[in-house]
Structure 1
C-alpha cells in the first residue's frame, strides 16, 4: 500500500492520466541490471562467455550496463565473486555516467555505500588518479570497502567521515564530485517495501534540509572548472528541483549543464519547485528569504518507472565557473619500493615483468603488518578515519610476504608466473569458493586462481594439493 499523502501529491504533480500509468507500473515486475567491470578485460569476451548463463540486454544510458532476465542468478555465479560485474539497479547507473570522470583526476564520491557508483567511477578512471570514496555510517562503509576490493579498484581511498569533516580536511581539492544524497527513497517503493514503511512528509522535509547541508560541503571541496553530479532516488520536488534551486540561488558561480537525455527520461520542472517544494534555505544570507527558481531546471533529469525500464531517479549535472587553480596541498609521506624487501622477494618469485615495474615506481604505506600501494600524490591522512588507503597488497610476516585477496582481484593471468584456471561450468571452482583444497598440477608456490581467465584469489601449490587461500569471511554457502 502506497502512502495516501504520497499518492495525492503524485496525482497533483502528474495529472490524472499520467498518474494512472505511474500507479500501474507498481504492478509490473522490476527490472534488474548488472554492469560489466572493464577493469577485468574486454566486454565482448565477457558477453561471449556469459551468453549461456544470462540473458543480457543493453541499458541505453550505461555504456557497460545490461538488463538480465528474471531467471538468471548472477549473484550466485563465480563471475560475481571475481568482480567481473556489479549488480546494480538500472536507473542507478545514470548519475555516474553523467559524471564523466577521467584518468588522472581527483574525484570524490561523497555518499558512496554500497559502492555501485564508486566502482562505476573507478572504471572511468582506469586506475589513474585518486578516487576518494566516503560513507558516513561505519557498517555501510565496511560494505563499500568490500565492494571496492571485489571490483579490483586500485586507486581508491575509502573513508568513513561526515561531509563537514572531509571539507575541513581537503578544502577545495576535487575535479569531480558525486553527491548521491540520502533521500526519502520514493523511487525505490516498487523495489523495497521498507522504503514505503519509513516514508512520511516530515521525513521528506528532513531529507531536503540534510541535502542542502551536504551540497554546501561538496561545493566547498569542488575546484573551479569542476563538475558535480547530484542525484536522488525520490520523486519529491523538495529533494530534487527544490534542492538544486536552493543551492544555485546561493551559489551564482554554479550552473546546470545540458546533457543528453535518453528515451523515457524527462526534464526537471520549474513549476514543481514553485508549487511543491520548500523555497527557503538555512544557508542563504537571509534564511527566511523565498529563493527564486534556478535557471534551466529543465536541464536536470527525471527517470520514471512508467516511462523506462528502471526505478525512479533524479539527476542534475552542475559545473563551477572558473579554471582549476594551482594550490599547494599537503601530501602523505610514503615509502619506496626499495624499502619493501619482503615484497621484492615475492615479486621476483611470482610476478611478471609489467607488475614488477609498477611496484618499482609505486608509493607505499604500512598500517601495522599491512602493506598498501597508494595512489600517486596521496593527500595527508592524519585526522581521517581511513578504511582502505589504496590497494592492499598483503601482510608483512617475518622474512616473508603473504599477498592479499584484494591484490589478486586486480590481476590478469598475464601478470603472474603461475596460474590455475578453473571453468565456471566445473564444480571445482565452487569448491574453491567454499574454501576447500583441490588437486592441481604445476610448479610449487603461489598460484593465481582464475575462473575462465578472471582472477578469483590465491592458492598455494604443494605437490599436487592446492591449498586454499580464499578469505574465510567471503566463502560461499550457496553451492
Structure 2
C-alpha cells in the first residue's frame, strides 16, 4: 500500500522499533465485527441462534468477529430485527469504556452513522435520554434509522452545530461521547480512500475543529459527569494536544483510568505541548497490537458540585388526552402510556423522554418515539414503534422462522397470503416477527397480510 511519505516519517518517529510490525499489518486482512444489541437479546442467547461463525472480541463483552469475505450479516433477517450492529472492532471501544447507567442523560455529539449511539442507547435500557447529534442532516437520517432499528425510543436525533447545542443543554448531560471528526489515519488499512482524504485535509485541519468541539461539549456536562473523547487517528495534535487543550481551558476536568486490556497502549505525553504526565492515562490502539484498526481514547471527569436541580413543574402537552384511535390501538399493548409524555404534532403522535429542556429553535429529525399517525379517524402505528416493542408487548403477532421464505418477501415489501396460518385470526394490525423478534407491521384481512414494512428500509 502506498502511504504518504510525511505519514510514514511521522509513524517511524512515533513507533521507533515497532514501525516494521506496524507496516507489516497492512498486508493482513481487515477485521469485521458485529456488536450484539443487548436491549433486545443477551449475548449468550445470540450466540445460540447466530446463523454464521463468530468469535469474541476479547475487550468488548458483546462484540464478535465474523468473516466478512464469506458471509453478509447485513442481509440476514436478524439484522433487520436490530439484533446486532456491524462495527469495526476497535470502534466499539469508546462506548464500551464510557460507563453509562440506566436513567442517565447521555449525548453522542458526533454520532452518525450510529455505531456508538446505539450502544449507549442499549445501555440506558429504555430509560433516561439519549441525544444523538450530527451536523450533517443527510448523515443524521442514517443515524435516525439505526437508532430506530435498535428499538431505542427515549431519544433525540439532532442536527446542529455543537456550539448551538451548548446553549440549550448547559450542564445537562451525565455522560457525553465525542467521536470527533479526524484525519482518519487509523482507518487507512480498512478504507484506502482515507489516504486521499488525509492528503486533502490532514491533522492540522481537524485539530482546530476538535479543540472547539471538546470545550463546547464540556459545557454541556454536569459536574460529576464523565466524557469520552475518541478519534481514529494517530496524530498527537488530534489526540493528546486536544485533551491538553481541554485541561487548560476547563481545569475542573481530570483524566480517568479506563477498564484495561492487554493490547491497549498508553497515551504519549511527549506529543503534547506541555508534556503533561497525566496524558499517559489515555489510550492508544495500534493495529499491530490488537485485532482492530487504530484509535485513541481519553476518559474525562468534570469535578465540582452540581447546582440544585429545579423541581419539575408538571405540565400538559398538547396531546395530554389520548386520542380515542390511539387508546383503542393501545388496548393490544401490554404497557401503558403516560399521558403527560404524549406530544401530538399535526397527524403524528410522539412519546417524549422525561425531563427535557425547552427545545424550541433546535434543528432535529426526531424527538422521542414516533408512535404513529392519525389518519381519517384511525391510528396507523409506526415502524419505530414496531422495533421498540417486544413480541410479548403486543397481543396480535405473526412469528416466522428465519428460514421461512416469507420473511424475505415481507422485508421486500410484498403482500403475503397466509390462509394456512390465520384461518382463525381476526382482521387488524399484526406485529410481524422473526424467531420472536419484531420486524414491522402488517394489516390482516381475509387471509391476506397487507405489508406495512417501511419502504425506505426494505430489502433490495
Tell me the TM-score range normalised by the shorter chain: over 0.9
1:66 corresponds to which of 61, 64, 67: 64
**Cα distance change, pair 319–236 in 1 and its aligned pair in 2 (3 A):** same
TM superposition shift of 1:26:
0.9
Report 1:71-86 matches (<5 A): 71-86=70-85
- What's the C-alpha RMSD, in Å, of the aligned pairs? 1.6
Residue 283 of structure 1 corresponds to which residue in structure 2? none
Contact 1:329-1:379 at 8 Å conserved across structures: no
Return the alpha-carbon distance in structure 1 between the equivalents of residues 34 and 408 of structure 2. Answer: 21
TM superposition shift of 1:173:
1.0
Residue 412 of structure 1 corresponds to which residue in structure 2? 390
Residue 455 of structure 1 corresponds to which residue in structure 2? 438
SS at match of 1:25: helix
Equivalent residue pairs, number: 452
Residue 118 of structure 2 corresponds to which residue in structure 1? 119
2:307 aligned with 1:308: no
Residue 38 of structure 1 corresponds to which residue in structure 2? 38
Residue 395 of structure 1 corresponds to which residue in structure 2? 373
TM-score between the two structures when normalised by the length of structure 1:
0.91
Contact 2:322-2:339 at 8 Å conserved across structures: no
Return the alpha-carbon distance in structure 2 between the equivalents of residues 323 and 44 of structure 1. Answer: 41
2:25 aligned with 1:28: no
Contact 1:418-1:443 at 8 Å conserved across structures: no
Question: Which sections of structure 2, spanning at least 5 residues, go unmatched?
Answer: none
Question: Which sections of structure 1, spanning at least 5 residues, go unmatched?
Answer: 274-278, 280-291
**Cα distance change, pair 143–333 in 1 and its aligned pair in 2 (3 A):** farther
Q: 1:256-296 CA deviation, whole Å, 9 max, x = no partner? A: 001222121100011122xxxxx4xxxxxxxxxxxx23341
Residue 184 of structure 2 corresponds to which residue in structure 1? 185
Contact 2:321-2:339 at 8 Å conserved across structures: no
SS at match of 1:239: coil
Return the alpha-carbon distance in structure 2 between the equivalents of residues 66 and 11 of structure 1. Answer: 32
TM superposition shift of 1:361:
5.5
Residue 54 of structure 1 corresponds to which residue in structure 2? 52
Return the alpha-carbon distance in structure 2 between the equivalents of residues 201 and 339 of structure 1. Answer: 54
TM superposition shift of 1:251:
2.1
Q: 1:320-356 CA deviation, whole Å, 9 max, x = no partner? A: 11233224399886245533322101112x323xx2x
Higher mean Cα deviation, 399-408 or 361-370?
A: 361-370
Contact 2:317-2:340 at 8 Å conserved across structures: no
Report 1:7-22 matches (<5 A): 7-15=8-16, 17-22=17-22
Return the alpha-carbon distance in structure 1 between the equivalents of residues 200 and 415 of structure 2. Answer: 55
SS at match of 1:39: coil
Return the alpha-carbon distance in structure 2 between the equivalents of residues 2 and 334 of structure 1. Answer: 57
Return the alpha-carbon distance in structure 2 between the equivalents of residues 59 and 156 of structure 1. Answer: 28
Contact 1:372-1:391 at 8 Å conserved across structures: yes
Q: 1:54-88 CA deviation, whole Å, 9 max, x = no partner? A: 21111122221111123221111011111111111
2:130 aligned with 1:152: no
Higher mean Cα deviation, 79-88 or 59-68?
A: 59-68
Contact 1:445-1:461 at 8 Å conserved across structures: yes
